[in-house]
Structures are given as C-alpha cells and as structure tokens.
Amino acid sequence: MLNIGLLGLGTVGTGIVQILEERKKYLEKLIKQEISISKILVKDIDKKRDIEIDKEKLTTDIYEIIEDDNIDIIIEVLGGLDNPYYYIKEALNKGKDVITANKAVVAKHLEELTNLAKAKNKSFLYEASVGGGIPIIKPLKEQVNINQIQEIRGILNGTSNYILTKMISENLDFQEALETSQRLGYAEANPTDDIEGYDTRRKLRILSTIAFKDKIDEEDISCYGINSINFSDIKNIKSMSCTVKLLGTAIVNDNKYYASVEPVIVSQNSYFSKVDDANNLVSFIGDNVGELRFFGEGAGRFPTANAVLSDLIDITSNTYQRNCFLENSELDNINELYRGKYYMRINVKEDTKDKIEKYIVDNEIIEDMIEKKDSIAFTTKLISKKKLEKLIDIFMIDSKNYFVARLEV
C-alpha cells in the first residue's frame, strides 16, 4: 500500500484527489500497489469544498502526517514559504519522499532540499513548480546530461499571460482580467507575485540553475513585471503590429550569463506571440539537440495536479533520476552590460515633460518619439537598461507611472 500525506486541498490539492480517484485502478495496476491518501492538511476542516471528502482524513495538525510512519510520500501544495519549507525538511528527515508544486520554496531552497534528499536516499521532485502542466523539469534534467544548455526563454506565468491576452484581444482592463484569472485558479494567493514578475523569476531561477549547473539566485535575475501596463501602451504596441509578453530569459556564453524577467514586445511572427491565455511556452537550446520548445497550460487545477502525479509515478516506479545533479560552474553575471532596445512610457506632469525629453535626447537614449501628451512614450536606441534606470532615478518616477518593455522586433 502506498500511503500519501497531502498538504493542501485548494486548487491543486483538489485536482490531485480527483485525478487519483478517477485513475485509481489504472495507477494501482501500473505501480503494482494500492494507493491511499491517508491524511490531508488544511487550514479549515469545515470549509465547503468542491469535492466530497471524508472529514476524518482532514487535519490541521502537520505532525499527524509527518510523524506517521505509514506515510511514504508527502505531496506539498499549500503555498507560502516558511511553513512548507519546514514541513518538507521534516518529511525528508523522517525518510519520506517529497513532491511539491511550490516554486517559492523550490526557488529559495533548491540546493539544500536536493542535498538533503540525496543524503536520505529519498526523492525531492517539483515538476509542477515550473510551467504548470508542461513536463519541463524532467526533460531539462535529462538533456543537461548530454548537452551544454546555452539559453532558456519562456512565458512562465499563466496569470500575466492571461491578463495581457485579454487586454490585447478583448480590451479588458487590467483589474478585470486579473480578477478572472484569480477566479480560474491561476493566480497566486498574493497575485503581486504574478504581475510583478516574481513568480516568473522563481521559475527562471529553478530552470537556469538546473540548465547551467550553477546556482543562479533570484537576486541574480533582473525583474520587471506588467503591473503598470495601460491601454495607451497596448494601443502603441498594436500600432507597431506587435504584441507584448512577460518573458524570462537566461543566456550563458563563455562562463558569463545574463538573466532577466521583463515584458518583451514581439512581432506577430514570433512563436511567443501565439501563446495565449494561461498557456506557457518554454524553449531551451542545447549544443547537441538545438532548440526544444514546450507548450501547454501553465496554471490551473488539472494541469498542475497532472504534473504532481507524474512525479508520483516516477518515484513509485523508480524510473527516474531521483534528484538533479547540482554543480558549481562559477558563472559571472553580466546583466549590467546587457544592451537592448526598449519601449518606454512615462506619465509626466506638464512642467517635467520638456525636461525629460531634453534628457533622453542629450543622453542619446531616444530613437523615436511615439506620443507626447499626458504621457511620453518613446523607443530607445541600443542601450543598457541601467541608462533607463538612471532616468527613472533622476526624475524620481514612481513605479506606477512608467512602463518599460524590451523590443524584440
């Protein structure tokens, strides 16, 4: 009998219970043992749930699960950082395999938890932490054994992609699109993580660490989100016959790497422009295999639960490299040297409009002025982002009052 301790019965946890029920017979035949969810950790036992569940199985006491020697595997789908980190550590220490969808914990503690799992001869798997339902961690781990990965690029956040899609194709306003994505179960408990790019940054940190065999920290990745985009940006981007996507990019070359999360304006021909709604697309380039692209639903109940259960099958059938092989390649970060062309819109007061215009001309920033009314919008020459950051600092522009996106057209 395989006994599972499930931590969390929200969007993802409910999907896990539903799929396990529906596929029970087939899965039990596959792994040659019965499967039982023995206990489920929740915050509120009496909460009304989308599924029928035996209340006897619910607990608010983590130790009822962690201290239970009959429980073999812990699946953590709680969300948050400190509690789940502690629970995962305790579970590994007690000799249990662990699966999580929690990118916040994986991004912060990947090396420590991987090493602990190795030391205990247990698995620590986290396929659902990047790309929702897309199998990406497993193929990446397989390919790093035979390839040097040179580049990873991706739409890695379903919520922000959903918002951008709805703003562009249905003229929905930002708040309305965000609220719908929350209702659909895509957004994090705190959607700031989605719209300010932090969720994408966590996922890029996980992918690039595995791919480049070096510890790429969240702090090593420059991060801009989509929270300040407005309809005038959408109108300007459409007038370029382009669209905009929140992209995570990490490139390594000659022991140096660049890593960023930022809105990127892409042409209609770019494969990223075709990725709508909460879908994700991840591409990586290996020196032997060339470019591989992975597309699918990046968030939501069933895709994410599906990714969690793929890890479960891998653990129980022993078909999988248990833990990734982390090395230390000692790459240097060159984010500050990276140069690009950008689109920028700044909301301006009448008295600063001309000063900003003079500054961007004198400092050889501006290429074309797109709009000069209540806001000024322009495209830049090929410059470092530092030059734009300096402009923001000098004129003390609040983050609500500007939007910047790299041009990839």
Ligand X SMILES: NC(=O)C1=CN([C@@H]2O[C@H](COP(=O)(O)OP(=O)(O)OC[C@H]3O[C@@H](n4cnc5c(N)ncnc54)[C@H](OP(=O)(O)O)[C@@H]3O)[C@@H](O)[C@H]2O)C=CC1
Give residues in contact with ligand X (CB under 6 A).
8-13, 41-44, 47, 77-80, 83, 101-103, 128, 132, 185-186, 188-189, 299-300, 304
Contacted entry of ligand LTNE7NMQ, ligand X, none for residue 8, CB cut-off 5 to 8 Å set by kind: ligand X
Reduced to 3 states, what is the DSSP secondary structure of residue 357? helix
Q: Which stretch binds ligand LTNE7NMQ (CB under 6 A): 35-43, 157-165, 171-179, 220-228?
A: 157-165
* DSSP per-residue string spanning 230-261: -HHHHHHHHHTTEEEEEEEEEEEETTEEEEEE
Of 194, 220, 233, 297, the residue at the interface with ligand LTNE7NMQ (CB under 6 A) is 194
Q: Which residue from 163, 178, 200, 230 is spatially nearest to 405, judged by alpha carbons?
A: 230
CA separation for the pair 31, 253 (Å, rounded): 43
The residue (of 27 and 226) whose beta carbon lies closer to ligand LTNE7NMQ is: 226
- Say if CB 229 and CB 196 are below 8 A apart: no
* Cβ at position 84, least distance to ligand LTNE7NMQ in Å: 15
- N-terminal to C-terminal alpha carbon distance within the chain: 56
Annotation marks residue 341 as catalytic? no
Rule CB under 6 A: say whether 298 interacts with ligand LTNE7NMQ: yes
Nearest approach, Cβ of 167 to ligand LTNE7NMQ (angstroms)? 16
Written as six digits, the tokens of 215 are 């510890």
From 114, 157, 227, 228, residue interacting with ligand LTNE7NMQ (rule: CB under 6 A): 157
Please name the residues in contact with 350: beta carbons below 8 A apart, sequence gap of 6 or more. Answer: none
Query: Cα dist. 304→95, 245, 291, 307, 308 in Å?
Result: 25, 22, 25, 5, 6
CA dist., res. 236 & res. 127, Å (int): 38
Options 13, 154, 158, 296; binder of ligand LTNE7NMQ; rule CB under 6 A? 158
Based on CB atoms, which residue is closest to ligand X, 191 or 300?
300
- 153 C-beta neighbours (distance < 10 Å), count: 22
CB closer to ligand LTNE7NMQ out of 159 and 236: 159
Q: Is 187 in the site for ligand LTNE7NMQ (CB under 6 A)?
A: yes
Quick one: what does residue 12 bind among ligand LTNE7NMQ, ligand X, none, with the CB cut-off 5 to 8 Å set by partner type?
A: ligand X
Residue with Cβ nearer ligand LTNE7NMQ (194 or 311): 194
Residue 78 binding: pick among ligand LTNE7NMQ, ligand X, none (C-beta 5-8 Å cut-off by kind):
ligand X
**Catalytic-role residue among 103, 203, 245, 385:** 203
CA gap 207, 284 in Å, rounded: 10
d(CA 266, CA 61): 49
Nearer to ligand LTNE7NMQ, 203 or 345 (CB): 203
With CB under 5 to 8 Å by kind, the binding choice for 194 among ligand X, ligand LTNE7NMQ, none is ligand LTNE7NMQ
**299 near ligand LTNE7NMQ, judged by CB under 6 A:** yes
Q: Which is nearer to ligand LTNE7NMQ, 186 or 402 (CB)?
A: 186
Cα 133 versus chain centre, distance: 12
In the bound state with ligand LTNE7NMQ, the residue whose beta carbon lies nearer, of 5 and 191, is 191
Q: Give one DSSP letter per residue of 170-238, joined into a string.
A: H---HHHHHHHHHHTT-S-SSTHHHHTSHHHHHHHHHHHHHHHTS---GGGSEE--STT--HHHHHHHH
- What stretch of H or E contains 266? strand 256-267
Site for ligand LTNE7NMQ contains 185 (CB under 6 A): no
* Residue 373: DSSP 8-state: S
E strand or H helix at 73, and its extent? strand 73-76
Cα–Cα distances (Å) from 391 to 225, 259, 366, 407, in that order, read: 18, 22, 12, 18
Tell me which of ligand X, ligand LTNE7NMQ, none is bound by residue 281, counting a contact when its beta carbon lies within the kind-specific cut-off of 5 to 8 angstroms: none
* Contact window for ligand LTNE7NMQ (CB under 6 A) among 155-163, 223-231, 372-380, 383-391: 155-163
Residue 129 C-beta: closest distance to ligand X, Å: 6
Partner that binds at residue 340, options ligand X, ligand LTNE7NMQ, none, CB closer than 5 to 8 Å by kind: none
Residues that bind ligand LTNE7NMQ (CB under 6 A): 132, 157-159, 186-188, 194, 199, 298-299
Active-site residue list: 203
